[in-house]
Amino acid sequence: MRAQDIEPFFATLKAANPQPNTELEYTSVFELLTAVLLSAQATDVGVNKATRKLFPVANSPRKLLELGHDRLCEYIKTIGLYRSKAKHLMETCRILVERHGGEVPRTREELEALPGVGRKTANVVLNVAFGEPTMAVDTHIFRVGNRTGLAPGKNPLQVELALLRRVPADYLVDAHHWLILHGRYVCVARKPLCWKCQVARYCDFKPKTPPPA
């Protein structure tokens, strides 16, 4: 993607969705952290179905610790890798209570020190909860960054750093939401819907098959 195409690319995405947000459901920073931790290799829809039952019962580190590992598993067993996620979540809650007064920390280092929280999860929390201009590169953003030519890279970190360099400052806080939604619903993995893409004119990708009649 040419440098001069980046601003209109994001301006178009912004015009279509001025206030993008995560599709995970949450009402507090801790609920957001929990939902993102549970969402690894799972869909937001599946996570939301589980947390709609979990959060009314346990929506804080202390309440989750009181709930216990086995009962937590019952609430999230429909989510992939739920046993390991439950273990990580319980350990995270223990650390939050013991070291952070039950609050979610606001630094990358402290977030990534929590079990089950990697760079992507930390970036989501920093961006969505605290408004920092981070770039959480999931499978959708990785695909869109490479396919469009916006931010090519061989791994998520390369794509993240390229996006931080190339995305204009005015769009950076919301950029990862626009890119995720674009990858989830338009620039899909197997057959991107180029014929309905609002930003196709700025994209490096050239479809090999014509649009459906």
Binding site per annotation, positions for [4Fe-4S] cluster? 187, 194, 197, 203
Taking each continuous run of H as one helix and of E as one strand, the counts in the chain are 11, 0
CB proximity list for 76: less than 8 A, separation 6 or greater: 38, 50, 54, 82, 85, 86
Q: How far apart are the first and last CA of the chain?
A: 28
- CA–CA distances in Å: residue 41 to residues 28, 85, 135, 162, 187: 22, 11, 18, 24, 19
| Separation between Cα atoms, residue 39 and residue 18, nearest integer Å | 25
Three-state DSSP class for 10?
A: helix
- What are the residue numbers of the active site? 120, 138
Q: Where are the alpha helices (DSSP H) in 79-155?
A: 82-100, 108-112, 119-124, 139-148
Radius of gyration for the chain, computed over Cα atoms and rounded to the nearest angstrom:
18
Residues forming the annotated binding site? 187, 194, 197, 203
